[in-house]
Amino acid sequence: MSTIVRVEDLHKSFGGIVVADDVNLSFEAGEIVGLIGPNGAGKTSLFNLISGVIPPDAGSIILEGHRVDQLPMHHRARIGLARTWQNTRMFHSMSVIDNLLIATRRYPGESLARILFRRRSVDAFRQEATEKAMVLLERVGLAEKMHEMAIELSYGQQKRIGLARALMSDAACLLLDEPMAGVEGQAYETIIRVIREEAQAGRAVCVVEHNISFIRDISDRTVFMFNGCVLASGSVDELTRDTQLTDLYFGGEHPQ
């Protein structure tokens, strides 16, 4: 297995609140890592640090051999990072298919000059992106919604669109922030299948989720975070057997 993302001694604090306290982690190709911990443990902040929403105070983030911690967000995404958001963050005045098209690797509307002078390549890019978007919508079971406004779908459906959108760029690393929130029934199985397929295709996947049974179902390895620290790593069962961790998860005290 090769390492896709390596986080080394990553540190970030906002005033007195430490959201990443010398975090060391790595995500391997083909591996699904579950990231759990109580609210405020720093799980989403870790995603924000890796994807570039917030800059780290110290430490490094290495994506497929490139150091990316100083690069702007869009640059990291192009090298191979894709993420979803806890609150879906659909482009609200756009249709589902347009939401996906934005995320394609070779975006046809990247520059006005290109649209003006390289009509044919732009058309080809759009064709390629549209086909890919259709396949992904099919996979998450929402192909029939392609022309609806993304914001008018249910929360669970938006989560699935968010997942499909993140898959548009074929990124080597997928960071999924609570993909199961609001997702029920058949869609639950669909998402598990899609995430597994992506891992099998050689991507490194990291999932933040409060639904422990989902994490147990899907993850190869689970990491427990608390107060910005990685406290433990192992299988869900190993972690849940540790009473100290379960106490912390369910509102225990800070370990002295």
Q: Which residues bind another protein (CB under 8 A)?
A: 51-53, 72-74, 77-78, 82-83, 85, 89-94, 98-99, 101-103, 105, 107-112, 115, 122, 126, 149, 151, 165, 168-169
Quick one: 208 or 245, whose CB is closer to another protein?
A: 208
The contacts found for 87-94 with CB under 8 angstroms, 24 or more apart, are: 88/155, 88/158, 88/159, 88/161, 88/162, 89/162, 90/150, 90/151, 90/158, 90/161, 90/162, 91/150, 92/149, 92/150, 92/151, 93/149, 93/151, 94/149, 94/150
Q: How far is the CB of 175 from another protein (least distance, A)?
A: 10
**Nearest distance in Å: CB 20, another protein:** 18
Least Å distance between CB 182 and another protein? 13
Helices 186-200 and 119-139 sit at what angle, rounded to 10 degrees?
130
- Indicate the residue among 111 and 200 with the shorter CB distance to another protein: 111
- 99 is written with which tokens? 């939401």
- The answer for 151, left when phi > 0, alpha when psi is -120 to 50, beta otherwise, is alpha
Q: What's the min distance (Å) between Cβ of 8 and another protein? A: 22
Smaller CB distance to another protein: residue 77 or 180?
77
Q: How far apart are CA 144 and CA 147, in angstroms?
A: 8
Q: Which C-beta is closer to another protein: that of 93 or that of 256? A: 93
Q: Residue 225 CB, nearest distance to another protein (Å)? A: 21
We find the least distance from the C-beta atom of residue 165 to another protein, in angstroms, to be: 7
103 or 218: CB nearest another protein? 103
Q: How is 117-174 classified by DSSP, letter by letter?
A: H-HHHHHHHHHHHHHHHHHHHHHTT-GGGTTSBGGGS-HHHHHHHHHHHHHTT--SEE
139-164 core/surface letters (b: 16 or more CB in 10 A; e: else): bbbbbebbeebbeebeebbbbbbbbb
172 or 236: CB nearest another protein: 172
Nearer to another protein, 29 or 150 (CB): 150
CB of 107 to another protein, least distance (A): 6
